[in-house]
Amino acid sequence: MFATAIIVFREVFEAALLIGIIAAATQRVPGRNRWLAAGVAAGLAGSALVAASTSAIAEMASGLGQEIFNASVLGFAVLMLAWHNIWMASHSATLAANASAVGSAIRDGRRECSVLFIVVGLAVLREGSETVLFLYGVFTAGDGSALSMLSGGLIGAAIGVATGYAVYAGLLSIPLRWLFAATGALVLLLAAGMASQAARFLIQADLLPSLVSPLWDASALLSQRSVVGTLLHSLVGYEDRPAGMQLLFYLAAITTIGLGMKWAGKNKEIR
């Protein structure tokens, strides 16, 4: 039961972390609660669908469908997070001044909300499909431990959601002026971590060269299995044995999105 709780917690936590950060970042965006909830619901429905078609997905692209699917989901999520961050960079001043009644903010806010919906949906989809598969395996194994393992899963999910909420509440205690800078930095690092993971899937499928693998081995210093390592992996994409190509993707994402945010921040007075 304990092992089940940990596995489910790990998957739920990653999605909950992202949702907590995004929810804190968009607290002034009108109608965001509905969109966040819709994103979670769509993600869960998608998870069941993806889990049910695991074999079909795996067999696509001569057995490399899973990697291509995961890399695409991650890549799309990176694009959406980039859009979100650049939008926030140009609107955070308006939102912080509580000028949400301004027409343009609301009009743009609606587009931002659909991006929220997609980002949250993708995060839930990615982590959720593995959880559904795992619990399905537990359920069909049919030995007496199924009930105990399912309750372990529920406990893990509850703790995961609670941790995500704690992150959200913690972020909200930051004064608004600093909050947008903090969430902007967090989302930037989240997106870079996802870009690096996308690269790992493409390397695993032999679609990209690894360029030196591993680039370094920091497992003795900070193991990715440790609590801190797991947290940093979810938060900023930490890996103890990354491939060179992953670092390249990581840095490219940070640079591109960072420059976009800077540009949007500079141009916000004009718009």
| Contact positions vs other proteins (CB under 8 A) | 3, 7, 54-55, 58-59, 63-64, 66-67, 130, 133-134, 136-138, 140-141, 200, 203-206, 209, 211, 213-214, 219, 223-225, 239-243, 248
Helices H, strands E: what count in the chain? Answer: 9, 0
Cα separation, 97 vs 184, whole angstroms: 17
Quote the least distance from Cβ 155 to other proteins, whole Å.
17
Main-chain dihedrals φ then ψ at residue 217, nearest 5 degrees: -125, 100
Quote the least distance from Cβ 215 to other proteins, whole Å.
10
Quote the least distance from Cβ 161 to other proteins, whole Å.
21
Nearer to other proteins, 39 or 128 (CB): 128
CB burial of 114-132 (b: ≥16 within 10 Å; e: otherwise) equals: ebbbbbbbbbbbbbbbbbb
Nearer to other proteins, 137 or 170 (CB): 137
Residue that has been written with the tokens 């420059």 in this structure: 259
Sign, CA dihedral 98-270-110-16, equals negative
Cα separation, 73 vs 61, whole angstroms: 16
Nearer to other proteins, 174 or 231 (CB): 231
Nearer to other proteins, 107 or 217 (CB): 217
Quote the least distance from Cβ 219 to other proteins, whole Å.
7
